[in-house]
Structure 1
Amino acid sequence: MAYENLAGRTAVVTGAASGIGEAVAVRLAAEGARVALLARREERLTALAGKIRADGGQALAVAADVTDETSVADAVDRIHAEYGPVDLVVNGAGVMLPHPVAARRADEWQRMLDTNVAGVLRITGALTADLVGAAEAGRSADLVNISSVAAHMSFPNYAVYGATKAAVTYLSEALRGEFGPRDVRVTNIEPGFVESELRTHISDAELSRQVEDMLDAVGALSAEELADLVAYATSRPRRVNLRQIVALPTRQA
């Protein structure tokens, strides 16, 4: 299904090298948006940008690390030079590294905090002026954060990951207080099980098996189905903000 109001918009999608981020970038480009693809893996981004262009869309591959302030600033400078101001931002970059807290994997805690929380803040802060400017000019302006049902559903061994996603959900709610009065929409999406690269981040064999067993029992949404939600939410009339979306496979309780 095609949605109105996305053609001609300029979007930034983080985590665009794979999974939900990749699917969102492809979908927005198919709807007529110019899309800046942000992720660390430049080869993957270049290949994706080529595919989008071959399909008639517009895409710019920008290698960037959301955990690094200078990298984010340089990426935004390049986007502005190529595309100008942005009016749609999708924070899709994330990592999921489950272990019991007692394992004291401080390196993994820091990586999740830096990517899942601070990364969202860095991208949002760097592009706030663009979003506010678009809204002031009477155009739609959207900030979309990809959180997780782990923000409010406890899963054994996922305490730190869940805490980072709870932070994203809270941040989204708080940002509505700042951005809503300025006509910038904030949408927080909390997916349940989704087919993505996140499951490949799991290094513990037993935890990996548990995830596979759950997916076998419940199933998973596709990344493309999540991308459809992003396209739907950001294509509504600018006075309509779908502020919170929880998307689960039907069998996931």
Structure 2
Amino acid sequence: MNHPALAARTAVVTGAASGMGAATARLLAAGGARVALLARRTDRLDALAAELTAAGGQALAVTADVTDQASVDAAAKAVHHAYGRVDLVVNNAGVMLPNPLSAARLDEWTRMIDTNLTGALRVIRAFTPDLTAVAAEGRTADLVNVSSIASHVLFPDYAVYGATKAALTQLSAALRTELGPCDVRVSTIEPGLTDTELPGHIDNPELREQLGAMFTAIPALAAEDIADLVAYTVSRPRHVNLRQSIVLPTRQA
């Protein structure tokens, strides 16, 4: 069913192949938005685009790697060719690779920084001109960055992941000073324990088991819960910016 505040909007969702990205894309498309699905896994994107289209929505699968500038440039070109200017960007692509700092995992540090921070910046660079142009026409323009409670809650062995998310939250705050005067809203969503694919990327057996125990002890948020918050955030009147939302499972302190 179309949502008045989402119908006729044009959205880009990164990390759309699974989890929060896929759930957000589903909800935005159900609300009437045209949704460009960006992620690395073409098969997953094609399946999701087919699902959304079959349900009466509009979706475009665009294979993209946010750690690769040429890939992001090509994706932006494909989105613009198909849909024109974008008025809603959800920066959701992210990786979580915990390990003690003493493990000196430069490969993991680089991947997290390139994805969680620089990747978000590449997407912002690609679509901010669209957002400012749309806002100048008097329409609603949104940039939503999906961060984490790890940006401000300290977890042993998650130092670099937490640092990338703190940087993303800080980036959002700073961007509000630049984009707010142009009537572009910048919002940060900081989820707590959420059931996504992220734990599957962890190669440290002890930390993987530790996280699994948390999921056993605490009924986690679903990806759909985060999607619901994103949709609520971007459907407020255009003069209202929900600047930072922290969302936790009820049993998580």
Structure 1 residue aligned with 2:148: 148
1:60 CA displacement: 0.2
What one-letter code is carried by the residue in structure 2 that aligns with 1:112?
M
TM-score under structure 1 length normalisation: 0.99
Aligned to 2:166: 166
Amino acid at match of 1:42: T
Superposed, 1:1-253 pairs within 5 Å as 3-253=3-253
For 1:173 and 1:58, how far apart are their aligned partners in 2?
32
CA distance in 2, matches of 1:25, 1:148: 19
SS in 2 for 1:237: coil
**Secondary structure of 1:62's match?**
strand
SS at match of 2:245: strand
Q: When the two structures are aligned, how many residues end up with a matched partner?
A: 253
Show structure 1 runs of 5+ residues with no match. none
The residue type equivalent to 1:86 in the other structure is: V
Q: Distance in 2 between matches of 1:145 and 1:3?
A: 22
The letter of the residue matching 1:247 is V
| Contact 1:112–1:164 (8 Å) recurs in 2 | yes
Counterparts of 2:180 and 2:118 in 1: how far apart (Å)? 22
SS across alignment from 1:36: strand
Q: Is residue 2–residue 32 contact of structure 2 (8 Å, CA) maintained in 1?
A: no
Task: Report the CA distance between 1:3 and its aligned residue.
Answer: 4.3
Once the two structures are superposed, residues 22-43 of structure 1 have per-residue CA deviations (whole angstroms, 9 ceiling, x without a partner) of: 1001110000000000000001
Which whole-Å CA distance do the structure 1 matches of 2:54 and 2:32 have between them? 14
Secondary structure, aligned partner of 2:195: coil
CA contact (8 A) 1:3 1:231 kept: no
User: Cα RMSD (Å) of the superposition?
Assistant: 0.9
Give ranges in structure 2 of 5+ residues lacking alignment.
Answer: none
Q: Distance in 1 between matches of 2:6 and 2:79?
A: 18
